[in-house]
Chains A and B, each alone.
Chain A
């Protein structure tokens, strides 16, 4: 699945049109504890979080994630979107809940992350 297909699947709005729609999405995840995400994030991940501050983009960029999805119509802060543009990280905004987004992604065959030890 790529970003274009993820957008079609979820009906989410693309807040960073500059980011490539061809980027491959490898897995899905949801968590709002950034420390936790740093330990469990993966390259190509589509990460659902209600956090909207700058550090979200730093985490997504360092982990080479494919996209950040903000659920429940939450607006991401302007400077955070600006940072996302600079780093080429796709930010999607959805009216659906994190639960609904996970269900859609899982039904379409997108895997979660493999469990470690």
Chain B
């Protein structure tokens, strides 16, 4: 289906101070488009989790928002380092977050499972040394 809107948000590795800015902008954009509160909540949670993952785990990346008539899609594409064992990374409670992230209250190993729980469709592709791409779509009801 036709993409009505596409916006890209670069996310810097280690930028804890500004973490959440892309998610906040995406939430505002979707709210203005009239997306329901229920869908908005699911998108917001998944979006913030994936934005934080870029800040905590990646070497930097880009978050892309696509809006279609029947769904919202978020694509997180980073430039590395890649995830060696995706099944392990998807396990609730497993985290490789560093000390700085943990001090701030992150790294509970909830990120990826929480994204999967909130998205209608969730896909993760990763190659060590290349990067990780996470694609999440959210169905728009009514």
Contacts and interface: CB of A to CB of B under 8 A. Distances in A.
Interface of A: 32-39, 43, 49, 51, 53-55, 58-59, 61-64, 79, 87
Contacts of B106: 33-35, 55
Give the contact-size bracket for chain B: 20 to 34
Interface of B: 16-17, 19-21, 23-24, 27, 37, 41, 44-45, 47-49, 104-111, 114, 117
Given A39-B45, A61-B20, 16 more contacts: A33-B106, A34-B105, A35-B49, A35-B109, A35-B111, A37-B105, A39-B117, A53-B16, A54-B17, A54-B20, A55-B19, A58-B21, A58-B48, A62-B27, A63-B44, A87-B24
A33 B23 contact: no
A79 B18 CA distance: 11
Contacts, number: 69
A51 B24 contact: no
Nearest to A50: B105
Q: Is the interface of A mostly helix, strand, loop or mixed?
A: helix
A63 B42 CA distance: 10
Contacts of A79: 17
A34 B19 contact: no
Given A54-B17, A55-B105, A62-B45, A39 B114 contact: yes
